[in-house]
Structure 1
Amino acid sequence: MSWIDYPQIRPATSRTYLVSIQRPYVGGDFTFKYVAYYNVATGNWYKSDGFEDDSVKEIITDRVVGWIDVPTYLV
């Protein structure tokens, strides 16, 4: 599996994806993976919590640098 560069290539379907996020950190950037919801209509990534019924939360304000479509059993 290879990361798909964002924002050069955007997902075509609104749903959850595994994303790579960069956030400023003392001495450099901190990069981590997160499961996030992408909305095609708005072009925004949203925080997501699969343990709640209303799993789509607030907009992610940190920099999303990549995304990947993973099979359900890996998410």
Structure 2
Amino acid sequence: MNWISYPANKPEKSGPYVVSISRPVENGDYTFSYKAYYSAETDRWFKYNPFSDEKDVLEEITFKINGWIQNLPAYLG
């Protein structure tokens, strides 16, 4: 699993990606991973609901996107 830095490197296609996001907190930044939707047409990231059959794209993410992962395999256990 190799992270791809953003915004230096942008996904070529619109779709869901796992991203690393940093948001400010009282003592610095809190960084976490999240499944987000990327719009290649607008170069914007959106909150995303992978549990919905409609694959709902929600509001725009305003926190800092540090990087993204192109293909993260699912554990099929």
State the TM-score, normalized to the length of structure 1: 0.91
Residues 1:71 and 1:24: Cα distance change in structure 2 (over 3 Å):
closer
CA RMSD of aligned residues (A): 1.3
Secondary structure of the 2:74 match is: helix
Q: In structure 1, what is the Cα distance between the partners aligned to 2:59 and 2:73? A: 23
Aligned to 2:57: 56
Q: In structure 2, what is the Cα distance between the partners aligned to 1:6 and 1:28? A: 20
Unmatched 5+ residue regions in structure 1? Answer: none
Q: In structure 1, what is the Cα distance between the partners aligned to 2:69 and 2:40? A: 15
Please identify the structure whose Cα radius of gyration is greater.
2
Number of aligned pairs? 74
Q: In structure 2, what is the Cα distance between the partners aligned to 1:16 and 1:54? A: 9
Q: In structure 1, what is the Cα distance between the partners aligned to 2:57 and 2:5? A: 23
Deviation above 4 Å: which 4+ runs of structure 1?
none
Aligned to 1:37: 37
State the TM-score, normalized to the length of structure 2: 0.88
Note the alpha carbon deviations across 1:10-64, whole angstroms, 9 max, x for none: 0001000000000001111000000000000010000000122251001000000
Deviation at 1:73, TM superposition (A): 2.4
Q: In structure 1, what is the Cα distance between the partners aligned to 2:8 and 2:72? A: 23
Residues 1:54 and 1:17: Cα distance change in structure 2 (over 3 Å):
closer
The one-letter code of the counterpart of 1:24 is P
Task: State percent identity of aligned pairs.
Answer: 43
